[in-house]
Amino acid sequence: MNNIKELKSIISKAREESEKRNFTQAVELILTLKDIDLKKGFSLNENVNLPHTPTKKPKVCIIATGDLGLKAKNAGVDRVIEPEELARIGSNKREAKKLADEYDIFLAETSYMTNVGKALGQFLGPRGKMATPVQFNAPIDSILSKARSTIKARLRKQLMLGCKIGYEDMSDDQLAENAMAVINAVESKLPNGDKNIRDVIVKFTMGKPIKLSMLVKVA
């Protein structure tokens, strides 16, 4: 039976197959699926909370004003955009696209969600980055911490999905546990669970992909 130990083994092998670079390489988990007909409307767009926060934090942008905006800035959010600035950005497609590409996670004060949809929806939607609503009195520190340890497992136009589970400066144990969290979350959304998973693949940015065939359930 495939388990954490076997996931750790392919992560270790992927590390061995990756040459050292002058930057910290990301580690990606790729799942190939089978026996699912995408033409029948099946979709998967799952937020997965990783047990180990990646060492390189994703960039977070929040659309907020007043007290929430100030608290978010103090909590270390990368950018705070007020409604007036959002309207200006939304009127400039090039700037809106640049914003959507630059930040990994978008949050928005609940009362501004409609504004965000109008200004950035066409850019955030296709990237799977639609803003998450935040109440004006929400505990922004904990929300930000959780957002930075959450990744999105998203199926597009083919039976394959990939997501970043961490970086090479994390241990094999941490990466394996993050990979398991993603596999379990995806499996729970598939029509036939683990039977719909064909392969598990791990790859470092500049390394060779290492595959573990899903002949039996990962547990």
Residues 127 and 84 placed together within one structural domain of the fold:
yes
Phi, psi (5° rounding) for residue 14?
-60, -35
With 0.85 as the threshold, say if the pTM is over it: no
- The answer as to whether 29 is a domain residue is yes
Structure tokens at 76: 């270390």
pLDDT above 80: residue 2: no
Identify the bridge partners of residue 45 per DSSP, sorted by sequence position: 154
Q: Which of 153, 151, 60, 70 is nearest to 107 (CA)?
A: 60
- The answer as to whether 171 is a domain residue is yes
pLDDT band at 215 (very low <50, low <70, confident <90, very high): very low
- The answer as to whether 123 is a domain residue is yes
pLDDT in tens, 108-158: 999 999 999 999 999 999 888 999 999 989 999 999 998 889 988 888 788
- pLDDT of 203 reads 95
- The answer as to whether 219 is a domain residue is no
pLDDT in tens, 40-89: 888 888 889 999 999 888 899 999 999 999 999 999 999 999 999 999 99
Structure tokens at 132: 């998450």
Residues 105 and 158 placed together within one structural domain of the fold:
no
Residues 123 and 49 placed together within one structural domain of the fold:
no
Domain boundary among 92, 114, 147: 147
pLDDT average, residue stretch 156-179: 93
Contact between residue 201 and residue 210 where contact means Cβ atoms under 8 Å apart: yes
pLDDT band at 213 (very low <50, low <70, confident <90, very high): low
pLDDT average, residue stretch 33-38: 91
Q: Which of 4, 53, 30 is nearest to 198 (CA)?
A: 30
Strands 60-63 and 79-81: parallel
- pLDDT of 57 reads 85
Helical (H) or strand (E) element with 29? strand 26-33
Helical (H) or strand (E) element with 197? strand 197-204
Residues 136 and 154 placed together within one structural domain of the fold:
no
- pLDDT of 23 reads 92
Residue ranges making up the domain that contains 136: 60-147
Residues 168 and 194 placed together within one structural domain of the fold:
yes
pLDDT band at 218 (very low <50, low <70, confident <90, very high): very low
Mean pLDDT score of the chain: 90
pLDDT above 80: residue 216: no
Identify the bridge partners of residue 36 per DSSP, sorted by sequence position: none
Q: In degrees, to the nearest 5, what angle opens at C-alpha 39 toward C-alphas 35 and 41?
A: 95
Can you tell me the distance from the alpha carbon of 12 to that of 202, in angstroms, rounded to the nearest whole number?
A: 10
DSSP state of 194: G
Residues 143 and 154 placed together within one structural domain of the fold:
no
Name the domain count of the chain. 2
Can you tell me the distance from the alpha carbon of 216 to that of 209, in angstroms, rounded to the nearest whole number?
A: 20
Residues 100 and 164 placed together within one structural domain of the fold:
no
Q: In degrees, to the nearest 5, what angle opens at C-alpha 139 toward C-alphas 76 and 144?
A: 40
The proportion of the chain whose per-residue pLDDT surpasses 90, expressed as a percent, equals: 73
CATH number of the structural domain spanning residue 35: 3.30.190.20
